[in-house]
Amino acid sequence: LVIRPTPESDAELAFEGALRPRTLAEFVGQSKVRGQLQLLLDAAAMQSRTPDHILLAGPPGLGKTTLAMIVAHESNRPLRMSSGPAIQHAGDLAALLSSLVPGEVLFIDEIHRMARSAEEMLYLAMEDFRIDIMVGKGAGATSIPLDLAPFTLVGATTRSGLLPNPLRDRFGFTANLEFYDDVELEEVLARAARLLALDVPADARLEIASRSRGTPRIANRLLRRVRDYAIVRGGGAGMEAVHAALELYDVDPIGLDRLDRAVLEMIVTRFDGGPVGLNTLAVSVGEEAETIESVVEPFLVRIGMLTRTPRGRVATRRAWDHLGVRRPDSGSL
């Protein structure tokens, strides 16, 4: 089992739903973004208008979906959820937009994966709450304008750089979510443990936090594994259960999972530490380039194990040390 930062089963989705904060005040960390969102929502409320469109960017599991739900909840508006891959044609988007009720919050996850033709329709919709629907084909084709109910678009993307500029520019506010530090993750875990009525001592919470890749979703998921362990083996959810459970699930001492390590090992052992191009790397470890780029790399870069250079990815000295591999030029005789 690899603990990936995206949900895999219905049980996990239900578990996540149960732990999701409902208000900005309950949302841990990201204090800057919280303040910015609060102001944006307050301003809209005072002027009785729909809040500006919001773009949430950051690696999976940092709270983008949660924030979209909070925006709807805090501004007392209904929420509609969709995703880029579900919008394969402009018609899919037209159907979605024309069925929104006034003031609705529309959440589009993975918005960078929406069809190009839909993107163009979205520009006009975001700007003027209007779309043009094409009827007929060839020389006889005409476009029929359709007014939409005002709405707030909340888009989520793993990397805002993947979005075309005209789309990015139409969001009134972009929040770049950062990885969480251990203290913040400990708070996420304290909250989750409380909701699960699970007694996890502070040292055990901090240990899970430090092995969660800076990601609340992973923290909650590791907590679930620790809870499983405590239920099956007895003896509570203390430090011993944490160590045993995390070892069982291949979470290494600094929280790297199997794919993180596979990427680093590939660069170090097969490519002498790099540089190696993204696509070559992706093929070598058998993963999609996009997964490597938006899921694996951001954390490895943040902890200083990987650097991106114009010629490709390079493993740092820290990576060699962490893997316990000696660098050929590291001063041996």
Q: Toward ligand ADP, which CB reaches closer, 67 or 242?
A: 67
Residues 188-217, one symbol each (x = binds ligand ADP by CB under 6 A, - = not), give x---------------------------xx
Given 152, 157, 158, 215, the catalytic residue: 158
Q: Which residues within the stretch 142-161 sit at the binding site for ligand ADP (CB under 6 A)? A: 156
Helices (H) and strands (E) in the chain, counts: 15, 9
CB of 46 to ligand ADP, least distance (A): 26
Residue 138, C-beta contacts closer than 8 angstroms, at least 6 positions apart: none
Q: What is the DSSP letter of 62?
A: S
Q: Is 174 in the site for ligand ADP (CB under 6 A)?
A: no
Given 217, 221, 225, 227, the catalytic residue: 217
CA distances, 58 to each of 6, 64, 178, 294 (Å): 13, 8, 7, 8
3-state SS class at 77: coil
- Beta strand 152-157 with 173-176: parallel, antiparallel or unpaired? unpaired
Q: Which residues within the stretch 19-58 sit at the binding site for ligand ADP (CB under 6 A)? A: 19-21, 27-30
Q: Retrieve residue 102's tokens.
A: 């006034």
With CB under 6 A, what is the number of residues at the site for ligand ADP? 20
Q: Retrieve residue 181's tokens.
A: 């530090």
* 65 annotated among ligand-binding-site residues: yes
Residue 318, C-beta contacts closer than 8 angstroms, at least 6 positions apart: 303, 304, 305
Q: Is 298 in the site for ligand ADP (CB under 6 A)?
A: no
User: Which positions make up the binding site for DNA?
Assistant: 308, 313
Please identify every residue annotated as catalytic: 64-65, 109, 158, 217
Q: Which residues bind ligand ADP (CB under 6 A)?
A: 16, 19-21, 27-30, 60-66, 156, 188, 216-217, 220
